[in-house]
A and B are shown apart, each in its own frame.
Chain A
Amino acid sequence: MRARLAAVGLGAVFGVAMSWGQFIDPDRIRDMLLLRDPYLYLMMGTAVAVGLLGTRLMRRLGVRAVLGRRPIGWEAERPARRHVVGAAIFGVGWAVADSCPAPIVAQLAQGALWSVFTFAGVLVGILAYLRWQEEPAPARSRARVRGRAAYRLD
């Protein structure tokens, strides 16, 4: 219950910040992606600098999380192919919609009805991803073999 309240509260701060900074206005995002407006990059840079300092400081001091009491820590992930491929797919969608997951729900909450389409698309994209991941590995390689055989016959 307390974890839910914390998540809702911090999410609300995030939602206000996105709205206040106009990161939910597709034209503003487009201007930033056209490099006419540095605001997005300054915002992300500041956020990462604050996040970096805060998390390093807490880890160095051995602070424990308020809920769960576990020592604050994280694992650094090695880059893999999926980080490039997935991010490239994501980048195309972001550029076309001029919106990404947090702004999409913020737009919806502000009554922007066009974002119903984007929101539904995200859900379907995630469902497609989950199904793809759940497909058993042997079936996937069989499909590949079949594909190759068909190619050779052609």
Chain B
Amino acid sequence: MIGLAVGLVTVALFALLNQRVGVVGGYSNLVERVTGRTSRLGWKAWFLFGVMGGALVFRLLAGTSSVGDGYGWLTRSFGSHAYAAVGGTLFAAGMLVGFGAKHAGGCTSGNGIGGTSVLSPASFVATGTFMATAIAVTFVLKAVA
């Protein structure tokens, strides 16, 4: 069901705008706008605002957060008041996510769904790489943390 909805968003973005779905591009658009690298927000930034709006509406209708208590393994390992450790780790991980996705030309959405949907070889390479890396790193983290 969820996969169907995400696939239809991919198709609808092509049908309406002739564009490949992507999320990190929206962040990039914001950074470029705020730092004066571009003068306007493109569709990607608006898509990002839409994602936030959709999540907020879902939260209000569900009556409870979909995120869970604390923050996953980080607050379990470091404690829920370890603001510097958990926050610092999330900030560093975010930097890797932002830098890496820009360098690879897409995130889980852009390469993993948008690029693979149009059978772009680069997106298959990127998706295979980030999947394998993330799985390997998660097993390592589970073993040590």
Interface residues of A (CB under 8 A from B): 3-4, 6-30, 33-35, 42-52, 54-55, 58, 63, 65-68, 70-80, 82-102, 104-112, 114-115, 117-130
Contacts and interface: CB of A to CB of B under 8 A. Distances in A.
A67 B65 CA distance: 36
Interface in B40-90: 43-44, 46-59, 62, 65-68, 70-75, 86-90
Contacts of B129: 83-84, 87-88, 91
What bracket does the count of chain B residues touching chain A fall in? 35 or more
A116 to B, nearest CB: 8
Interface SS of chain A: helix, strand, loop or mixed?
helix
Contact of B72 (A30, A35, A66, A120): A30
B120 A68 contact: no
Contacts of B108: 94, 100-102
A126 B49 CA distance: 18
B137 A95 contact: yes
B96 A125 contact: yes
Contacts, number: 453
B103 A18 contact: no
B67 A4 contact: no
A110 B98 CA distance: 21
A109 B107 contact: no
Contacts of B116: 48, 51-52
A6 B47 CA distance: 8
A45 B21 CA distance: 15
Nearest 10 pairs of A and B residues by beta carbon: A11-B50, A121-B94, A50-B7, A15-B54, A46-B3, A125-B98, A91-B133, A86-B104, A51-B117, A86-B103
Given A16-B55, A51-B117, A101-B24, A73 B18 contact: yes
